Amino acid sequence: MNIIPATPAPEYKDILKWNDNKVRSIKDLKGKVILLDFWTYTCIFCLRTIPTIELLKKKYENYGLEVIGIHSAEYDFAKKEENIDRALKMYGLENTITGLDVNNKTWELYGNSYWPKHILIDKDGFVRYEHPGYGLAEDFDDALSDLLDISGSDTSVKETEFKDQSDIGDLTSQNDDAIIPNSQSSNELTNITKMYGIHFPGMAPEICVGYTRLRRFGNNQNVRVEEHNIFNEVPQALDNVVYLKGKWFWGKEGVGASLDHKDKNPSIIFKYNSASNVNIITGSTDGKPANAEIMLDGKYLSENQLGYHSKLVDGVSSADITWPFLMNIVKTKNHEIHKLEILPRTDNFFFYTFVFG
């Protein structure tokens, strides 16, 4: 937690709505300490921080802490109210006060350039601390004890105060709106980390495939942006490099499949150097369900390789894309090396990003 010069906290700007349909301002909470949680549902580190924020709410809400979520957008689809609402439900955040900052104006006003970011505002409305990136509850404790003036108080949280995970049910590939239970400890694995995996040294990097952010593109040929291109298959894939095969539209944020070429099997190929979880941000071009088959090393997934959002039917592994979000499609027991191939089976399939764990 970084101490920063005390400056008046800027008021929220251009919030589309609050998830409980109430109107809010910073000044309305004078006398309370505010934790502003800047996040977006497409950011893996934001999702992994959810249990931390929930734990802080439990520890400090009776001492005057108010947690306010500010959801901003990393992708255009994350500006849509229905997608944000669905994400809040999926991750069990319906009851967390959240402002929909769809144009990122409040996000920018607080000097943000990435996700997540946490700002602490004191009882007089001054910004006092900030915490960039992923963090655990203990990273916030000293600053919150200072601002809440509770040094030496017992702020421990009993495990029984959290949801009983046995009452939640399994997160299966057929239930992409499942509620994610809160963790009982900032050091325990939660269902979020069980679903998407955790960060570890040497892990395959996050890779975006839109032309404005792609840094590891392996096809050695001239391509045109905002147009369809025919990508040739390469003889050998290098580690952690994206390759396309067949006909694809290359857009600003991602690539869209086309099945009207003589090669009816367009694919995305990625040989990852180390991961136990393969997660992808994907969606569709028309808002209707899309589908893609998934293969590792030239074979369909086995039962023990299926991710939370993939399925195996008649020996064919695939994923149904019903809305744009972070899907877990491969899960292995150990950190492994594999050549992944994603083969769209509908021409509305759109792909944004690889994220590993």
In this structure, the answer to whether residues 138 and 231 fall within a common structural domain is no
Q: What are phi and psi of 71, to 5 degrees?
A: -95, 115
171-183 pLDDT, tens digit per residue, is: 222 233 332 333 3
pLDDT for 152 equals: 60
In this structure, the answer to whether residues 140 and 275 fall within a common structural domain is no
Instruction: Return the structure tokens found at 338.
Output: 């594999």
Beta carbons within 8 Å of 165's beta carbon, 6+ residues apart: 181, 191
In this structure, the answer to whether residues 121 and 212 fall within a common structural domain is no
In this structure, the answer to whether residues 224 and 116 fall within a common structural domain is no
Question: SS3 for 139?
Answer: helix
Give me the CATH number covering residue 106: 3.40.30.10
Within-domain flag for 62: yes
Instruction: Return the structure tokens found at 114.
Output: 């990435």
Within-domain flag for 197: no
243-289 pLDDT, tens digit per residue, is: 999 999 999 999 999 998 777 789 999 999 999 999 999 999 999 99
Domain termination site, one of 109, 138, 153: 153
114-168 pLDDT, tens digit per residue, is: 899 999 999 999 999 999 988 889 999 999 999 999 876 555 544 333 333 322 2
Residue with tokens 């004078």: 30
Which domain covers residue 101, as residue numbers? 2-153
In this structure, the answer to whether residues 119 and 225 fall within a common structural domain is no
CA 242 to chain CA mean position, Å:
20
Residue with tokens 């990852």: 272
Q: How far apart are CA 245 and CA 263, in angstroms?
A: 9
pLDDT > 90: what percent of the chain?
Answer: 79
Within-domain flag for 175: no
In this structure, the answer to whether residues 145 and 240 fall within a common structural domain is no
What is the number of domains present in the chain?
2
Within-domain flag for 264: yes
In this structure, the answer to whether residues 212 and 140 fall within a common structural domain is no
In this structure, the answer to whether residues 99 and 236 fall within a common structural domain is no
Q: What are phi and psi of 47, to 5 degrees?
A: -65, -40
Give me the CATH number covering residue 326: 2.60.120.260
Domain termination site, one of 129, 153, 177: 153
Domain termination site, one of 133, 153, 173: 153
In this structure, the answer to whether residues 69 and 137 fall within a common structural domain is yes
In this structure, the answer to whether residues 218 and 295 fall within a common structural domain is yes
Q: How confident is the model at residue 191 (pLDDT cuts 50, 70, 90)?
A: confident
- What mean pLDDT do residues 210-215 have? 88
In this structure, the answer to whether residues 213 and 300 fall within a common structural domain is yes
In this structure, the answer to whether residues 234 and 352 fall within a common structural domain is yes
Q: How far apart are CA 303 and CA 306, in angstroms?
A: 6
* DSSP 8-state code for residue 106: H
| pTM, 2 dp | 0.87
